[in-house]
Structure 1
Amino acid sequence: MTQTLPREALFAAEQTITDNLEDLLAVLPPDIVEALEEFNQPEHRSKLLEIVLDLGRRPEARFEDREVYLAEREVSREDIAYVAERIGRFGDDNRAGIERTLHRISAIRSRSGDIVGLTCRIGRAVYGTVGIIRDLIESGESILLLGRPGVGKTTMLRETARVLADDLRKRVVIVDTSNEIAGDGDIPHPAIGRARRMQVPTPTLQHAVMIEAVENHMPEVIVIDEIGTELEAAAARTIAERGVQLIGTAHGNTLENIMMNPTLSDLIGGIQSVTLSDEEARRRGTQKSILERKAPPTFGVLVEIQSRNRVAVHRDVAASVDAILRGLPLRVEIRERNPDGTVSVHYEELQGMERHSDRLLPPGPRRTYQRGTAPEESRAVRPVPVRSLSPAVSASAPEPSRKTLRVFPFGVSRNRLEQVISQLMVPAVLVRSLGDADAVITLKNYYRKRPQMLRDAESRGIPVYVLRSNTAVQMANLFRSLFPERFVAEAETHGNGDDLDGGLGSVPEDQVAAAMYEAEAAIHDVLGGASRVELRPQVSWIRRLQHQLAERYNLGSRSRGREPYRRVEIYRED
């Protein structure tokens, strides 16, 4: 449903474009330059995106709406060498440039390291392009820009830096990894205005330069292109927490893309699995295992660049993420630049499958639900194996009080399972056919091999629970996680919490949340370079949750000390 609100046009900004195309033509072979002269008219020149030179193929010019061959002959090694000799040095990311221009030349190399292809991307400074989001920039909020390659993210980022530095007189520092924002060479391109530029020696050090910019140069604004690693996401959070406005871009087209990306989800607050109490689940009208945002987002505003003249704005990223996770309608602000230069605003309410993604698969063991369905009608779109067996992070639990759970064992000792079920007195029975099963239990080694039986179970939507080993303890832990209400009630009746994982249900919720927050902070410290971090003492089942959280980030963990001072230590595995 789309609703157009009566609102006056926002901005009128005349766009001015400068592309320094002559500097790029000066490094190309003469016959290719001569062929390009045919397209030197303004209407063609403004649509030229890149020139492609691939060894053994005809040279090609790519425009916004077509591709054109520039010669009948094939590109030779001499042509590629001709260009390479006249441009800057290629970095670790196989990108080079032309000094004091915004053009980017990217190399394709053979297995022996020889250059066999060149992509000469036209870099343009477009003055006035940020008029469509200028009020957001002036608000001081950190802004994340998303969009497909070539839609103009870097161009908008460059103009944003200039507006903040020149028009708003702010201290702006650009962390320029591939010299795309401010151009090649030691002297930055005039398109960034008074903004200062810090170059990055190698792409793997981008996060370190981001922190260095804050610590050494007292910026009010940091501008960064292509946040793509976990360390860069952590550095972005550090910058935002220090009160510095952050303007950046990331890989992805929509908010959902960032939510599904385990590396970048921290930019929008991160996603975690939470198990609600029975009372809270009934109050919300949801299942017990749900997905929630685990922290405030690094970026308060997110802009999806859909085209050069249309953007979708999430003014409150936290509220948008929460709405998506809860399956609620998502109200998005749409801005469009009109032919006369003004910007009109209206709102679109998106439901269910209208967005680009119909499911979320955040990191860690959890069950995910189709967007747009009410929680009580949610259905699993992908059965996720249980790597850990604690009730707090288990996959969706059936409701044992309503029916008996029919279990199909695959590669697991059937006799041992029957003994555990009998001893625990849980409402579960073993079946001999996959077609009769409500759930499948298997071992980690079997699940890794992905046999046909397990693939059939997943295709039918039957949950697959994975045990690390074929022991009675592992099986008992699984059934305790599947039937938590039964064991909580038993503990309350007999007052024997020690036999139930350290007193399940006896620890206040705020203490559990504090313990998990401490574990998350320790994980970020270890990912940031710390060798190991020791947590405060906890009861056994909370320690298990902390171990599982560390495992989700591919970190090692172990318990140290003796009760009641036994605690978890998190470290990076070699």
Structure 2
Amino acid sequence: MTQRRITDDLQKLLEVLPPAVAEAVTRANNIDNLIEIILDLGRVPKARFVNGELELSDREISHQDISYVVERIGEFDADNRAGLERTLHRISAFRNRRGHIVGLTCRVGRAVYGTIDIIKDLVESGKSILILGRPGIGKTTMLREAARILAEEKRVIIVDTSNEIGGDGDVPHPAVGKARRMQVPTPSLQHEVMIEAVENHNPEVIVIDEIGRELEAMAARTIAERGVQLIGTAHGRSLENLLLNPTLSDLIGGIESVTLSDEEARRRGTQKTVLERRAPPTFDVLIEMIERDKVAVHPDVSSAVDSLVRGSTPMPEIRSMGEDDQILIEKPAPPPPARQNPNQGFRRGMAEPPTQPGTSMRRGGRYQNVVDSSSFEMGADEPAEVISPYDGKPVRLYPYGVARNRLIQAARRLGVPVLVVKNLEESEALITLRAYYRNRQQTVLDAEERGLPIYVLRANTINQIEQSLADMFNLSMDGPTPNEWQDYSNATRAAIEAVMNGSRFVDLPPASAPIRRLQHEMARQAQLVSHSYGKDPNRYVRIFRE
């Protein structure tokens, strides 16, 4: 177990701040928990700590204060980031429309030795590792420590776009150990430097921070295919979140829509059009940082993605650091065999581990129902019972980019209780088009901020709207609508009366499994015999006397 040690060179950062601000930070007497210092023109300076914010002065920041800092730090790059030489601190700038700096975020950079212990076995396994997590949780710190550990025995090159891993200046910070560092002149050229590192410097390991563009994802795949171990971070908080990002989903294989043959669809018990993983993932292992000392590990990204696209929730391995610096590992229990969901597919959103069978779970804007299929046996014609999260209550739904009249028509056709509202504030859920969702329209962002479920349509059609409403209320689109139930019931009653009046038998029209189940039950109650004949979709029920 490595003894945890922290190096922050904080005095060098305080020296570039206006004296009054630096003194206030020192007086706060909470240096160890300091995250960043905010200097915005015309506002009071603030310090952000792990446990909250603190105003450092009653005096507003002036142009002179901004200039005082800018004159004492390095030059700002194209991404508006600068640093202090031989330190890990980062200063980011706000600019006005004329290009003048009107705000600074002075972020404290710390080299924390020993943070890699919780995943050291994975790092040293030679597998490519992708680290996800919210900003400021410690992804770059873990990346830096991984580079230092691996550089003791391997040729490690760091592609350092914003000098966050190796610090500012030409000489890397001692925290990266023997690893070599390649700086990136312009953030948009990171992918070229990644390829250059492989072609020119013969590395065994490449460390990359903030993979955020499609070209960088493609470059990462090229590097992995050459047999080089990759350790990197990406924008995203979870596996599901990354899979829904069209720019970066290729890092974990991506997804595509596949049309199955009739035979294969029957074998799987799914619809003919399903989602599949498009390619092998670039990274073998994915780590979600939950807290600084707690991570969720997906040791096999391929299996985790395959589980997601088949409608299951992958169960990661949870690792945490105990009070005595012992690593606690919670391995997931093997899942019970489950019946394939006929409406197989991946829901947009972020998953949480299921709590108990038969309960509804919210998935970042979607709902998924967990049904314990091991607790009961189902007949061949018996549908699985599911529970709607809305439980038959009217849902106030706000359509954004979706035709209101079509939404009302679809709701009436399916017989579901929907109230179409005129603004987002009154709604309980948002339904929108994929184009609006991908473009991150303000209404979509507001809905996410409010924690509303979001239902995304591919097209503004009745069929798409019906499928979305069926998803909302957990209706099977293969099953009948309330009006169709009535029609089938009337036809079955007529057949029963005909048999009881002397007909030898009556064949009912082909129907789905739920309808056939109803027809068998009605025949049994009339003390008649019924059998199903044929194969789906032409399977039908015959009613006759014994």
Q: Indicate how the Cα distance of structure 1 residues 14 and 60 shifts in structure 2: closer, same or farther if over 3 A, else same.
A: same
Instruction: Return closer, same or farther for 1:86/1:377 CA change in 2, 3 Å cut-off.
Output: farther
Letter in 2 for 1:182: G
Give 1:161's match in structure 2, choosing from 139, 142, 147. 147
Task: Give the 3 Å change call, closer, same or farther, for CA 333–277 of structure 1 in structure 2.
Answer: same
Q: Distance in 2 between matches of 1:284 and 1:455?
A: 28
Distance 1:348 1:448, change over 3 A: closer
Please say if residues 128 and 284 of structure 2, whose CA atoms lie closer than 8 Å, have aligned partners that are also in contact: yes
Q: Secondary structure at the match of 1:46?
A: helix
- Cα deviation, 1:511-534, whole Å, max 9, x if unaligned, reads xxxxxxxxxxxxxxxxxxxxxxxx
Residue aligning to 1:203: 187
Equivalent residue, structure 1, for 2:265 = 281
| C-alpha distance in structure 2 between counterparts of 1:255 and 1:73, whole Å | 45
Correspondence list, 1:148-547, <5 A: 148-166=134-152, 169-348=153-332, 354=352, 370=368, 454=460, 460-461=466-467
Q: Secondary structure at the match of 1:297?
A: coil
Which letter maps to 1:74?
E
Aligned to 1:484: none
Residues of 1 paired with 2:60 and 2:434: CA distance? 51
How far does residue 347 in structure 1 lie from its aligned partner after superposition? 2.5
Cα contact 2:212–2:234 (8 A) shared by 1 = yes
Report the 3-state secondary structure (helix = DSSP H, G, I; strand = E; otherwise coil) of the residue aligned with 1:91.
coil
Question: Counterpart of 1:14 in structure 2: which amino acid?
Answer: Q
| 2:107 aligned residue | 121
Match of 2:94, as an amino acid?
I
CA distance in 1, matches of 2:258, 2:385: 16
Show the counterpart of 1:21.
10
Give the equivalent residue in structure 2 for 1:138.
124
> Cα distance, 1:287 vs. partner?
1.0
Whether the aligned pair in 2 keeps the contact of 1:176 and 1:225 (CA below 8 Å) is yes
* 1:329/1:349 contact within 8 Å kept: no
Native 8 Å contact 1:29 1:83 kept in 2: yes
Instruction: Please identify, of 289-298 and 208-217, the stretch whose mean Cα deviation from structure 2 is larger.
Output: 289-298
In structure 2, distance between residues paired with 1:462 and 1:197: 49
Task: Tell me the SS of whatever aligns to 2:315.
Answer: strand
TM-superposed deviation, 1:113 = 1.1
Aligned counterpart for 1:80 among listed residues 66, 84, 92: 66
Structure 1 length-normalised TM: 0.62
Question: Structure 1 residue 377: deviation in Å?
Answer: 6.5
Shift of 1:162: 0.3
- Map Cα deviations across residues 418-440 of structure 1 (whole Å, 9 max, x no partner): xxxxxxxxxxxxxxx767769xx
Q: Which whole-Å CA distance do the structure 2 matches of 1:276 and 1:369 have between them?
A: 26
SS at match of 2:223: helix
Please list the CA deviations of residues 74-116 of structure 1 after superposition, one character each: whole Å capped at 9, or x if unmatched. 0001000100010011111110001110000000111111111
* Structure 2 counterpart SS, 1:89: coil
CA RMSD, Structure 1 to Structure 2 (Å): 3.2
**CA deviation string 1:267-298 (max 9, x = no partner):** 00110111111111111111111101011110
d(CA) in 2 for partners of 1:266 and 1:455? 30
| Alpha-carbon offset, residue 354 of structure 1 | 2.4
Larger radius of gyration: 2
Using the aligned pairs only, state the percent identity: 60
Aligned length: 383
Partner letter of residue 17 of structure 1? I
Asked if structure 2 preserves the Cα contact closer than 8 Å seen for 1:13 and 1:341, the reply is no
Evaluate the alpha carbon distance shift between residue 39 and residue 14 of structure 1 in structure 2; reply closer, same or farther with a 3 A threshold: farther
Aligned twin of 2:542: none
Seen in structure 2, the aligned counterparts of structure 1 residues 69 and 456 have a Cα distance that, compared at 3 Å, is farther
In the TM superposition, what is the alpha-carbon distance from 1:39 to its structure 2 partner?
3.3
Q: Does 1:52 align with 2:38?
A: yes
Q: What CA deviation, in whole Å up to 9, does each residue of 1:414-466 have, x standing for no partner?
A: xxxxxxxxxxxxxxxxxxx767769xxxxxxx99999xx94887555479xxx
How far does the alpha carbon of each residue in 1:205-234 deviate from its partner, in whole angstroms, 9 at most, with x for none? Answer: 000000000000000000000001110000
1:36 paired with 2:34, answer no
User: Which of 99, 107, 129 is equivalent to 2:85?
Assistant: 99
Contact kept in structure 1, 2:89 and 2:167, CA below 8 Å: yes
TM value normalised by structure 2: 0.65
Taking the aligned partners of 1:333 and 1:142, their CA distance within structure 2 comes to 17
2: CA distance, partners of 1:339 / 1:193: 28
Deviations 1:305-352 (A, max 9, x none): 111110000000000111111123422100010121110101346999
Is contact 1:327-1:371 (8 Å) kept? no
Give the distance between the partners of 1:310 and 1:120, measured in 2 at CA. Answer: 27
Residues 205 and 297 (structure 1), Cα distance of their counterparts in 2 relative to 1, 3 Å cut: same
Cα 1:173–1:372 shift into 2, 3 Å: farther
- Tell me how far apart the structure 2 counterparts of residues 448 and 310 of structure 1 sit (CA, whole Å): 36
Partner AA of 1:126 in structure 2: V
In 2, distance between residues paired with 1:54 and 1:219?
42
* 1:175 aligned counterpart, secondary structure: strand
Give, in whole Å, the separation in 2 of the partners of 1:349 and 1:24: 48
CA–CA separation in structure 2 for the residues paired with 1:196 and 1:284 = 50
* Inter-CA distance 284–458: structure 2 relative to 1 (3 Å threshold): closer
SS state at 1:155 partner? helix
Alpha-carbon distance in structure 1 between the residues aligned to 2:385 and 2:228: 40
Cα distance in 2 for partners of 1:269, 1:371 equals 26
Matched position secondary structure for 1:280 = helix
Q: How far apart in 1 are the matches of 2:200 and 2:181?
A: 13
Higher deviation after alignment, 108-117 or 307-316: 108-117
Distance 1:372 1:262, change over 3 A: farther
Structure 2: gaps of 5 or more residues:
336-346, 355-360, 374-382, 389-402, 404-408, 415-432, 437-455, 470-546
